[in-house]
A = this chain, B = another copy of it.
Amino acid sequence: MGRKRGFDETTVLDVVRDRFWTTGFDGTSTYDLMDATGLGKGSIYKAFGNKHDLYVRVFSDYCQGLVAQAREELRDGPHAVLTSPMARLERYVVSLADAFATESPRRGCFLTKVTADRAGEDDMVAATARRAFEDLAGALASALRDAQDAGEVAEHADATALGYLLLSVIRGIDNMAKAGVDATTLRQTARSALELIPRADAPNVRR
């Protein structure tokens, strides 16, 4: 019972996330949120609590999506888009770098932004970000292990460490992209990271 909602929650949350993304937590007022969503102030507070709750909510949702997407694009198995694990890994990393370098305005990744913006002052945000980083590094490490199993990457390589390494490179490219560093340079940086991954001398049979 009660009155039905006149807005689509997902749409509103997307719009709110984009606002926080471009102007940050402190730089986004409740009036900005009203303008962006078309909702009255009361509706927003009723539906999502206060500004901070809303911020944590959209950030948390974003991280879930980000991790899910990484797992999807990197995963091995029958539904994999590309058959080679290494090809998937390269595609994932390079396409991210490419996106950061070419989008306009360069807003980068919301996770990077939020972490720099609020992780130092907000334990809730820091915990969510940390979890996302660990999951992303895990997904990358998993892809690297797939590549090892396929005989593309050297067995002696530490997949976990390389996962964090690739993740940090992506984060760094994101940050440099925001400053306007040349797109070619950023793409090259991503490719360099991939090239340095130790390759197996002779390809194994795919088990």
Interface residues of A in 89-139 (CB under 8 A from B): 105-108, 112-113, 115-117, 119-121, 126-127, 129-130, 132-134
- Assess whether A1 is interfacial by the CB under 8 Å rule: no
Q: Per DSSP, are chain A's interface residues mostly helix, strand or loop, or mixed? A: helix
Are A158 and B119 in contact (CB-based, < 8 A)? no
**1/0 contact string of A36-52 vs chain B (CB within 8 Å):** 00000000000000000
A133 and B178 alpha carbons, distance in the complex (Å)? 11
Contacts of A173 in B (CB 8 A): 168
Contact of A162 among B178, B192, B197 (CB under 8 A): B192
Contacts of A172 in B (CB 8 A): 167-172, 175
Are A116 and B120 in contact (CB-based, < 8 A)? no
CB distance from A160 to the nearest CB of B (A): 9
Are A120 and B196 in contact (CB-based, < 8 A)? no
A-B contact pairs, 16 of them (CB 8 A): A24-B24, A26-B26, A113-B116, A116-B116, A116-B175, A120-B178, A126-B178, A127-B180, A129-B179, A133-B181, A158-B192, A161-B192, A165-B192, A167-B176, A168-B175, A172-B172
